[in-house]
Amino acid sequence: MDLTAEIVRYSRMAFGIFEFARTPAIPNPVESLRQNLENRDKNFLDLVLHTIYASPKNPYHKMLLKARCEFPDLERGVCRDGLEPTLKRLQQAGVYLTHDEFKGKLPIIRDGALIETDAHSFENPLISAKIEARSGGSRSAGSRTRHSVRAQLHWEQYQRVLAQELGIEHDPFVALLPILPSVTGLTVSLRGRQYHWQVEKWYAAAGNLWDSWHCRALTRTMIAMGKLAGARCQFPTYLPENDFTRSRNMSQQKKPLESAAVSAALSARRCAWQLLRRNEA
C-alpha cells in the first residue's frame, strides 16, 4: 500500500463527504428521473463521445475501432434503431466486457489481439471524484470506484423513490452495512434523512479490531466530518463476524420497533431475519 497515496485519497474524500453532507437533495426525484429517461439516447451519445471516443487508451475505444464503429456510425445506429438494438449488435461484434475482464482477472482479447488495461482504464475523465469506494476483493485484488457528489445525488434519487413506493419513508431504519472502504453504509448514515428515513442504528461487521482499526478510524473521521457539516448521522456499532445477536435490540428495547426498514447485504439480511424469527418464537 502506498501510504502517501492513501493519505491523499482519504483527505480528498473527507472534503467530498463534507460537501455531500451539505448539498440539498434533488427536489423532485421522480421528475428528474423521468427527464433522464426521456433524454436517455442523447445522454448516452454525449457520454460515449466525451469519455470513450475522446480517449484512445480507453478499452472500449479500442473495441469499437476493431468493430469498425466510429462515432457517426454509433450515432446513426442509435437514432435509427434505438439504443438496445445498437448495443446488441456491438456486443455481437466484440464490444463488451465480462465481469472477470473488468475485474482484471482475465485479459481482454478480441480478434486474437490483447487490449491492455490498468487500474485507471475505466475511470470517467469528466468527473472530479472525491468519494472513492473499493470492493472487498474476496476472489481478486478488488477494484476501486470513484464517485462525484453529483453521482451520489443521482443514486440517492432511486433510494427516495424506492422509499416512497414501499411506504417506508417515515419508518425507523436499521442498517446492516459495511464500513470503509465500502461507502454504502457511510452514505446511508449521512443522507438517510434526505429519504425521510429515521436511521435508528447502523450495525457493521468489520472483523477483528487488529485487522480493521484503520478502516474504523477512517469511517469515524468521515462521520465526524458529516456531523460537522450538519448531518444527523450515526456512528456504526460493530458486530463480531457472523454474529447478529445484537439485532435483538430491535425487539427487546424499552420501546420496541413495531416496524422497521432494514438495509443490508443479502447474507447479512438473511442472518438477521432468521435471528429475529427465532427470537419472536
Q: Where are the domains of the chain?
A: 169-280
What pLDDT is recorded for position 175?
86
Residue range 249-266, pLDDT digits in tens: 554 554 555 667 777 776
CATH-assigned architecture of domain 169-280: Alpha-Beta Complex (3.90)
Residue range 183-215, pLDDT digits in tens: 989 988 888 777 667 688 899 887 778 888 999
What pLDDT is recorded for position 269?
54
Residue range 207-233, pLDDT digits in tens: 778 888 999 999 999 999 999 998 888
pTM as predicted: 0.79
Residue range 45-94, pLDDT digits in tens: 999 999 999 999 999 999 999 999 999 999 999 999 999 999 999 999 99
What pLDDT is recorded for position 235?
93
What pLDDT is recorded for position 254?
46
| Cα gap 70→61, rounded to integer Å | 9
What pLDDT is recorded for position 251?
46
Q: How many CB atoms lie within 10 A of CB 84?
A: 9
The arithmetic mean of pLDDT across residues 142-160, rounded, is 85
What pLDDT is recorded for position 58?
94
> Count of H helices and E strands in the chain?
12, 8
- pLDDT above 70 for 136: no
**Mean of pLDDT over the chain:** 84
Tell me if the bond preceding 181 is cis, omega within 30° of 0. Answer: yes
Please, are residues 203 and 237 in contact by the beta-carbon 8 Å criterion? Answer: yes
Residues 6+ apart with CB under 8 A from 35: none
